[in-house]
Amino acid sequence: MELHQISYFIHLAETLNFTSAAKLSGVSQPSLTRAILRLEQELGGPLIYRKGKNSRLTGLGQHVELEFRRMLVALESVRQHSDNWAQGKHQVLDIAVAPTVGATYFVPFLLSALEQIPSIEFKLHSLKSSEDVSGLMSGRYHACIFPQSSRPDIRLSVVPLFRERLVLGCAADHPLAAFDTIRAEDLVDYPFIDRLNCEYRGQIQDHFTRREVVMRPRFRTDREDWVQRVVAQSRAVCILPERSVAVPGMVTRLIEGLTLEHDLVMAMASGSATPVELKQFAQFASNYEWH
């Protein structure tokens, strides 16, 4: 197996068309076809169903694509690390952060990491609510920071960070801010902001339903910054993770009987291809004091 065969197959998996894949690879179609045939012979099975416009990857092809992409990412990491080492540059770590993760607690953590690990540089991305671990497995991100799913994935290496509760968010001068704990029935007099990115929306609704409290959202959005701005500047309220507050003028209070909480974790793809700097960053995250 040669590197150019891997590159050819990745282009074929992206286009599902031999002519288009050959153009992307900068070779003739017959050359690409022969390379794919040799690859199939070496791997012991077909990688693509050849049905013209309806061509698609086989089960083996889908698995091989995932592994080949990881190999290319690892190779690029080695090249980048080598270049950075020779030129005194930093290793760039692509970190995806879920929108529900607040900057207030994570900025000091990231700044400390930059100080303690001089060889790294961060490129932060917003992890969309529709994304799953595919971004990690494909190599798009080195690591993701998000609320942990109840179902562990054996393909991931997970570093626990901290646990946080879901609480009421309101303006500092809001009438409810005068109390340490808020009853569910006290919320009905105020506009409710629905956070569409919240993974506990169903459980929150059930909590209020059991208490015969009907919350009628006046504003719905997946933009956490908009949610917090509206709450901080009005009489509206929302329910959010206690450490996610990032807007001045906003406070949090406990809700009587609401015991929802989640664990924030940093996840990476398992395997020996993990860059040294990413391992250092993961170790730093594991030992960090989350106040």
**What are the tens digits of pLDDT across the range 219-230?**
999 889 999 999
Res 182: pLDDT: 94
**What are the tens digits of pLDDT across the range 159-217?**
999 999 999 999 999 999 999 999 999 998 899 999 988 888 888 988 888 888 888 88
Mean per-residue pLDDT over the chain, rounded: 85
Give the C-alpha separation, 10 to 57, whole Å.
Answer: 11
Please tell me which residue, 69 or 53, carries the higher pLDDT value: 69
Q: How confident is the model at residue 112 (pLDDT cuts 50, 70, 90)?
A: very high
Please tell me which residue, 160 or 135, carries the higher pLDDT value: 160
Q: At what angle do helices 3-15 and 18-25 cross, to 10 degrees?
A: 130
Please tell me which residue, 109 or 92, carries the higher pLDDT value: 109
Res 262: pLDDT: 87
Res 90: pLDDT: 64
**265 forms bridges with which residues in the sheet?**
146, 160
Give the C-alpha separation, 239 to 168, whole Å.
Answer: 5
Q: CB within 8 A of 44, min separation 6: which ones? A: none
**pTM higher than 0.85 for the full model?**
no
Res 157: pLDDT: 87
Nearest CA-CA partner of 273 in 90, 6, 85, 80:
80
Res 100: pLDDT: 81
Res 152: pLDDT: 65
Highest mean pLDDT among 98-112, 149-163, 265-279: 98-112
Res 132: pLDDT: 63
- Does residue 73 have a pLDDT over 80? no
Q: CB within 8 A of 147, min separation 6: which ones? A: 98, 100, 199, 241, 262, 263, 264, 265
